[in-house]
Amino acid sequence: MAAAGIPEITLGDFVARLRPRERRLPLEGILETTYRCNLACVHCYVNQPAGDAAERARELSTERLLLLVDEIAAAGALNVLLTGGEVLVRPDFEAVYRRCLQKGLLVTVFTNGTEVTERIADLFSAHRPHAIEVSLYGMTKETYERVTRVPGSFEKCLAGIRRLHVRGLPLRLKTMALAWNAHEVAAMRAFAEELRVPFHHDSLLNPRVDCGANRNPELQLSAPEAVALEAQDEAAFARLKAHAEQVVGERPPATPDQPLYSCGAGLTGFTVDPHGALQMCQLSRRHGFDLREKGFQEGWEEFLPTLRARTWQTPSLCRTCDLIGLCGSCPGAAEMEHGDPEAQVAAFCEIAHERAFATLDSVSAHRRDATCCLGGKGSGRPAAASPPGALIRTLKVVRRSAPPAAR
């Protein structure tokens, strides 16, 4: 209830009044506290072994992390995401988490759930986060542990989810939809519905960033498979259709000084990796500002604007593609995949085309298989037919400058 004489406004209205893009306010931050994880998921882009001493030694110290939280809050941040790796493998998680809350930040925690003990669940209950997102990789032990490659992890994940749920915490479930577990996405969604918590999936895979390796390409669903899976959820697919009708239209013109980045990376959002590098986002990682010795404000005010100011240097088709609003690619994803922020990510391009043809009555100047844009340079994944009954559910369509939805 608003105090007498003080009007109450929504958080959205408050943020709008701040004019964050115009003023370059770092409202949304991602703190990757570790690359280490107690699981070894086949698809994950960061999962060094939990006991890796060398990797642990490279991580920011507790003292520096706590000071960094202070600096981020002082710079004007409202939201912070604590993630990894598995964020709970660090013994100082509670200290960092509590400092974020003490500084008035809205905190979201990404976890695989297997390290959610009674003590951790009690911590969240006593000091509530904005949200807790748990990654679920199957609804059977066989499928889940085929992905995680750790025996016993399925039961631990379910136990962690139950501990959070019984305390009435703001829980969300999610999954990476892979060729290995897509057949259980419906069961995962049903489980979330039974718990009455939100659920979403992501089918767009990125390469590893912690060791420079690419994963098994057979894990990525083909474009027809991915969009069929999205179509399984009628309400979500209706939102995708409405979004497509809104964003797909005439091709935007290319201009000589056209900005490469159109998202909030380096403008209202940022990422800090476990080694203290301040970066544009979780995907754009080739350039970083060292926060071990230098302050956050210097990196935000002097370093990130130079990256953000980059304009298009090539006549890439992505530059003027009218399907870009349906595409999972962005400069960060392209840079991660090819080392070039202006390159095409074939798998994402194919999915964008499939989405367009699945949701719109007509799509001009494009072909469903994306050869109009890729010129025969496809993703290498077979174009499997959509399975009977349609496999899949849609997630909220966002540009991939946002944090990857699941690991």
Q: What is the pLDDT of residue 207?
A: 86
d(CA 39, CA 147): 9
Rg (CA), the chain: 21
Give the residue ranges of DSSP H helices in 212-264. 223-230, 234-247
Q: Which amino acid is at 13?
A: D
Q: How far is the C-alpha of 355 from the C-alpha of 55, rounded, in Å?
A: 40
Q: Which two tokens stand for residue 265?
A: 């990376």
Give the pairing of strands 277-279 and 289-290: antiparallel
Q: Residues 61, 307, 318, CA angle at the centre, nearest 5°?
A: 120
Task: In whole angstroms, give the CA distance from residue 338 to residue 375.
Answer: 17
Centre a 10 Å sphere on the Cβ of residue 54 and count the other Cβ atoms it contains: 7
Tokens of 280: 């544009």
Sequential pLDDT tens for the chain (407 residues): 556 678 888 988 988 898 999 999 999 999 999 999 999 999 998 888 999 999 999 999 999 999 999 999 999 999 999 999 999 999 999 999 999 999 999 999 999 999 999 999 999 999 999 999 999 999 999 999 999 999 999 999 999 999 999 999 999 999 999 999 999 999 999 999 999 999 999 999 988 887 777 777 789 999 999 999 999 988 889 999 999 999 998 777 888 899 999 999 999 999 999 999 999 999 998 999 999 999 999 999 999 999 999 999 999 999 999 999 999 999 999 998 899 999 999 999 999 999 999 999 999 889 999 999 998 666 655 544 333 333 322 222 223 334 444 45
SS3 per residue for 362-400: CCCCCCCCCHHHHCCCCCCCCCCCCCCCCCEECCCCCCC
Q: Which residue has the tokens 């669903």?
A: 221
Sign of CA dihedral 318, 319, 320, 324: positive
CA of 51: how far to CAs of 32, 54, 58, in Å? 17, 9, 13
pLDDT in tens, 302-313: 999 999 999 999
3-state secondary structure of 178: coil
Residue 11: per-residue pLDDT: 83
C-alpha torsion 244→248→249→254, nearest 10: 160
pLDDT on residue 216: 76
Q: Residue 175 and residue 30: Cα distance in Å, rounded?
A: 20
pLDDT for 47 equals 82
The confidence score (pLDDT) of residue 252 equals 75
The CA-atom distances, in angstroms, between 34 and each of 47, 96, 206 are 9, 13, 18
In this prediction, residue 398 carries a pLDDT of: 29
| Contact between 239 and 314 (Cβ < 8 Å) | no
At 218 the pLDDT is 86
Q: Phi/psi of residue 260, each to 5°?
A: -70, -40
What are the boundaries of each domain within the chain?
222-259+316-407
Cβ atoms of 134 and 157 closer than 8 Å = yes
Contacts of the segment 300-308: beta carbons below 8 A, 24+ positions apart? 300/24, 300/26, 300/75, 300/270, 303/278, 304/266, 304/270, 304/278, 304/280, 305/24, 305/266, 307/266, 307/280, 308/261, 308/265, 308/266, 308/267, 308/280
Q: Which residue is it, tokens 């998680």?
A: 93
β-pair partners for 132: 109, 171
The amino acid that residue 14 corresponds to is F
pLDDT digits (tens, 9 = 90+) for 4-38: 678 888 988 988 898 999 999 999 999 999 999 99
Q: Evaluate whether 271 touches 29 at the Cβ level (below 8 Å).
A: yes
pTM, entire model: 0.90
CB-based contacts of 167: which residues, under 8 Å, 6+ apart?
A: 121, 122, 124, 125
Residue that is written with structure tokens 């006549």 in the block: 315
Write the single-letter amino acid at 329. Answer: S
Residues 215, 207 contacting (CB under 8 angstroms): yes
